[in-house]
Structure 1
Amino acid sequence: MNTGNPIRLLRKATASALLATLLLLGCGGEKPETMLNSAKTFLEKNDHKAAAIQLKNALQKDPQLAEARFLLAKALLEGGDPTGAEVELRKAQGGNYPAEQVTPLLARTMLMLGQPQKVTEELAKAQLTTPAAIADLQTSVGHAYLMQGKEDQAVAAYAAALVAQPGYAPALLGQARLKASRGDLPGALALLDSALEKQPSLYDAWQFKGDMFAAQNDLAAATNAYLKVLEIKPQYLPAHSTIIRILIAEGKLEEAGKQIETLKQFAANHPQTQYLRAMLAYQQKDYAAAREAILLHLKASPESPLGLQLAGLIEYELQAYAQAETYLLKALPRTPPLGLARRVLIASYLRNAQPHKALGILEPVLDKIDKDSNLLALAGQVFLQNGQVDKAGSYFAKAAALDPKNPAKRTSLALINLAKGDSDVAFRDLEQVAAADTGIRADLALITAHLQRREFDQALKSIAALEKKQPDNPLTYNLRGTALLGKRDAAAARKSFEKALALNPAFLPAAANLANMDLNEKKPEDARKRFELVLAKDPKNVEAFMALAQMRAKEGGTTAEVATLISKAVTANPTNPVPRLALISLYLGKKEVKSALAAAQEAVAALPERPEILDAAGRAQQAAEDYNQALVTYQKLSALKPDSPLPYLRMAEIQMASKNKDAALENLQKALKIKPDSLDAQRGIILLDLDAGRSKEALAVAREVQKQRPKEAIGYIFEGDAHASQKAWGDAITAYRTGLKEAPTTDLAVKLHVALLASGNPAEADKYAETWIKEHAKDNRFRLYLAETASMRKDYAGAARQYRILLEAQPDSPTVLNNMAWVSGQLKDPKAVEYAEKANKLAPDQPALLDTLAVLLADKGDYARAMGLFKKALELAPQASLIRLNYAKALIKAGQNSEAKRELDQLAKLGDKFPAQAEVAQLLKGL
């Protein structure tokens, strides 16, 4: 590269610096006007340092010299000090220096300070009179609008500049930037050439031209453009910076070093110089020098995204993973979603045996990596280290399909052969690569393939080879434990998992495997301790908190206990959506709407751009019957995910609930445009058509559904609809019978039974149920459905028969015991209380279970204990209106009418929100 001209010009700059020193020593008795004239001479020669010194000297003698203020601002701006320039310009304004000169320069200064909004708010409407000043100001205003993404206003501003001064080169440059941002590169280049023809010394245009060539990967043309910049403005930092970046990218590290030495002659301490020093040292693998330089860069620019990213890369190479994590997490929101920060952070977590954290960083971009073979392969490793073998295999295969010819990826080729069914060739290739390669990707792929095929002995052989490469990697022993479990060697598997944890006590997959084994052996306390030990080593491990929460929920823990554990996960990682979603779902499931709403509001405040968070918030708002706010939330979701039918389906659901059927239909049709086979949208349209008496239209949609899903036998989806005709029910029954022949599933069996009942054929429905149960004796889901259906029909004897059989298969199921207790109570069976007591012992502090036991005790006359249980249930679930009604009935039986009236009055205030108002009114009337 020829850098001769810029260097010769830099020598002149060095001489100027010596002159500036002399000026500082010899300015004693000169008049302010003399120093002002001297400064003007220096400015004409582009010697901004010397000019600034003379102007400061003049202002020391006469602080009111407004022209000196203005010229000092100009000198400071050219010298790279926009902050100082703004101060002087404001003072020049205060000294009534002409706005024609101050205002355009102030706009440019504010842009350099990154204040585009202030430019448009403060200066866009400034009234100037001279064409040159108007063109200058409007060009800056156009730049400011463009920086804010307001393209229409930018177009108008550039047009105004060109009206004031036709052919004004900086405005043409602005229009070129606008065209380039819209993808019109030929148009942008034409405008650039026009601008440079009118003003060949417009270095910004040469810089932008170089950037455009670089974007098209024409690095030679880009370099020539940047050199042209340096001919015009030898100390222009962006041109030096881009030249150095190109040299580093081309591997010309020695030339890049020389260029950095040139840069240091006039900007030795500039943050950008330190960044480039760090980048070069990183490429030279001199990580200590790279760390020193990047720390200097971050000291001056602590929020620099690229600086933070490079710092993370350097710390990763130095194996300082905790420090790398700190830098990369800070850089992550400010760098591209699939950029280096995310990739290196994931790799850092994997290398540091924290796969759960790697998964948390990967999940937000999983829907964006389908065309990136390297990220797909990385995803495979993440899922494998998290113990999700099937998902790992899927991502490895996708990576292989995208890059089958790369010689460095024979592993990928093997995976493609494996996916095609050519397993002999695939396994041979994987074994060869694993044996020859010091890396472990082929080993992991080979192990994954064997585990997926349940070839546990072969997997163990491959794991032994992996152990020789990485004897201290906990993943190795976790994989061995998985294979041994597959062979049903629980003792050996346990030893392998424990070995993984001995190497890394915070390695969650091994802890989770051991916890599952503990639970299978009826040792829940041991299982709990596994996760607590992980948290002792890694207090911010979200997955460990979530595992503890799930365990507590299964043990029958109170909502408050489970919520506390989930909240700890939220605190540990506020940007992870998983625990926030779990907390909202927990409260919604327990009908604690206010708590769900509060959790949702906090989640949206923390993660306003996450679609799943907005969806959960909308569900919470819907449950709180705040339909308007829910619609606003789903509108935001539709803007965020324009290719998803979900927001429109949610809005339609809300509108149907609020009887706005036309709006609901419109949203369902929008959902169908996005996803023409959306069953939920089709079902909604059918029901709306039926409700409006449009049976032909409903039938047309239903037939379309049947064409799309013949094997599922969705039929005409008339089940449960009050408007369905006998003919329609007959068609539906036929469709379900056909579907059951092709794919006998519990769901279809239930649908057929519902259709038979709804069509007025209870005897045929009972006969079908007997046949299904006879042929599918272990189908407990269908049996539970029959029991619940019988109970609703007040066939308590029939319900009890089904529950008894279910209890034989599930003697410790709190739900089945509770339901059995209820129907036994209706049958006056003395064992009813025994069933309820056992259910509450297995799942303590569950409001529904407490309610059942309390009702049964009150029926027996044990009012003291019954009232205590009712109160406890209502403390846990104050919104549970049915429990409050049962409590009121028990109070009446106990002769406590005033207390009963208080409870009934609360229910009466609910109005239509509580459907049993007729019974409430009747009870109140009888008091």
Structure 2
Amino acid sequence: MAFAQGNMSSPFYEDALQRFEKKDYPGSIIQLKNALKQTPNNLPVQLLLGKALLENGDVVAAEVAFNEALRLGVNRAEVVVQLGQSMVAQGKQQDMLSHPALQPAGLPNGIQLKMHLLRAGAQADLGQTAPALLSIDEARRLDNRSPEVWLAEVPIRIRSRQFTEALQAADRALGIAPQLAEAHYQRGSILHVQGDLNGARASYTRALQLDAGHAEALIAQIGLHLDANRMDDAVRDVATLRRISPKEPRGSYLKALLAERQGRVPEAQAALREVTALLDPVPMSFMRYRSQLLMLNGLAHHGLNEPGKARQYLEAFLRTQPNSPVSRLLARIYLSTGSVNEAGTLLENYLKSQPGDGLASNLLGSVYIAQGKHARAAALMQQTIKLQDLADYRTTLGMSLLGSGQTTGALTELEAAYKKDPKQLAAAIVLSQLYLHEGQQAKGLALIQTLVKQQPANASLHKLLGMALVQNGDAQAARASFEKAAQLSPELTQAQLHLVRLDLEARALHAAEQRLTRLLKANPRNTEALAEMARVADLRGKAAEAQTWLEKARDNSGPRELRWNLALVDLHLRAGRPEQALAEARIAQGKSSDNITGLLLYSRAQLAMGDAQGARGTLGRATRLADFDADLQVDIASQQLAAHNPDGAYYSLDKALTGQPDSLPAQVLMARVEFQRGEVAKAEQRARSIVQKHPRRAVGHMLMGDLASAQNHPGPALEAFRKAHAVEPSSGTTLRLMQTLETQGNDKGAREAATQRLRQMPKDAVVLHALAGLHARAGRYTDAGHSYQALLLFQPQDVSALNNLANVQLKLGDKGALQTAEKAHGLAPTNALVIDTLGWAHHHFGQHDLALSLLRDARLREPANPEIRYHLAKVLVQTGRQGEALEELREAMKSGRPFEGAGDAEQLLKSLN
């Protein structure tokens, strides 16, 4: 079992932690690697290994360990500073700045401050002076009483020869921390550059009095000694420098310089070889941002009579002088490569000289549709049809109107195209699908059946008929159509894939997997089959396997294919991995910056990372591209609300209702937005209008109830929710009714509402979840357990139900809690709450070593969760680590968030204090 292995690794980890605290980093690394042999995916071990490797100077391996910790689910606040440091130490400044997990937004203030300063240093290395100063300003907004936020400005100002500003920043730092050695050193460095050698010497001396091991101050002081020809002082300080920093290449170079001045050539040569031995292995990617080191190694190789190597480093040094990197982006992508954007540019330029070329206009219209520029496509095609009215052109016009949400106009144009030319298969297919979408099932199905009769050997049309039958709810007839398509054209994999989807809908996972295995045997690069394999894995609760399949689909897809990137974004978001979602969304953006689905997923990832401002910008672009597509604008508006931008949501919904005034989702959301904007009367009027137009739909009554609740009108709210449930009973209406009754103190009424629904729909998972939670909050743990068990009878892999059941069983003292928690953990091994429950269960049954290992893991994944910190502290006390427990309890109580066990946590904190 995995937990037995975890127990075997625990002694290694605890010993490594003690070694780390004593600064025995090599010993700590050895023990951590021993721990990983026992449990390769142990999150606390990976994190501590990264820290130990970083302290030991192995920055490449440290970066690997920190990224592995992120992959395993560590909360990024635990690693961002050290990961950023390890990347900068390798010269990966640009990578560090763009790394999705290293963005400051959403981090705790203290960590944000450190990241802004780290970014400022990286930006300064890249010659980006203005962004670096902006990053420092961001840090100061968080805490302008920290000396670091002022000292960070000094080297940037020196590099720009802005000595007055540099001195002001250094003096601000000294005013805050007059005993800080670094502040005195930085002030001395300004005076040194200005030629005030006496002032610089005094500042360096003061820095060394405060911190005798301050290497930079010591090196600067040696330089002053050499300039003044005080050789004895220089020899003394060089010896000190080499003692405190034996791997400092400047110490070796200074020793060589002194030896050469004194005529000790062999000693000088040996010291120069120390320099090259230290610097040659350093990646040039790092060295190019450290001009002093480039010059140092160039001079060392020159002194060793190695002109080739000297030239390499000296030329690189000269390339650093312009202070900012020069990059040139050249783009030559043509239509044949599948680049939609550049195809549009090419056609636009062509049509400037050949405005009457209808075929080019039609092609450009298709490009605009692919870009989501439906209004532009419609305008172009309307103009083209004035010059020449062809069925093809009306088809494209119909498509563009459909894309902009103008359904009636799209129907008219597509019907005209099909009437003008019954061979317009594209128009007929889209027209049939439009009929189905608009609720005209009989008309849509009849049109497709007509097409099938006209071309009975056309496998694609049989496939289309199957899709229509699926929409009509006739899965059996649909399966027959797909099988006919596959029989007519065995190479038509889409028919097989639709059969797979029918298998998946029926939860026939084994049959679906067998069919997919055959498809992939014939074509291992079939991306849709790979993606469906991911769906099979996802339905089995195997998230890691699903991710692997989707990554294969992505890696085997074309350069402009976005579907699998977007599926990965969605998978990462559902799994609570916003950093990975953002990284994947950025890849998708690189493939197509104007894809609306990609923009919406990108904004979701930004929101998950806490970057509401960035999300608002992304959604603004999406709004412009979506034109008057009501469905898209509703999605955009929903995300604008999540980004705290009701005005942006209002704008999107206004466009939606301009394009489709009768869009019910847009009307409902607009009422909610109007209420948020303080336009209460307008919101209520709109809600009443929805009820009048759709009296047998729950949505209007639900909206009335929500508006009443928001205004603290409990009676009308309850009446509205009862009406909603009466006209259209569902999981959602039952849940809202239950919540309202419970809020108003009517626990019995809430239970009766749930019971009534479950009599009609015994397998309503949503209501069973809600009823179980209702019982648990009221202390009816036995009843709660029964509800969760009833749910698990037909949803045995419901992680939330298993986790909650385990907690209920712990309340009842039921030893079955451990088995239940283990089952939940097996299905969701990276879920912090699930890991916490399992660790807490082990603690309850006396298995403290296993509990400690699991709770450390959970705490690293959700450090802001006070209950997890309390659980960890409780076990730390049991295992004799009171100091660490005290720190966890302080953080838990500092959060101010209520949590179960808060009273016990407070008492435990008092006892430890």
Larger Rg: 1 or 2?
1
Q: TM-score, normalised by structure 1?
A: 0.47
Q: Which fold has the larger relative contact order, with Cα–Cα distance below 8 Å and residues 6 or more apart in sequence?
A: 2
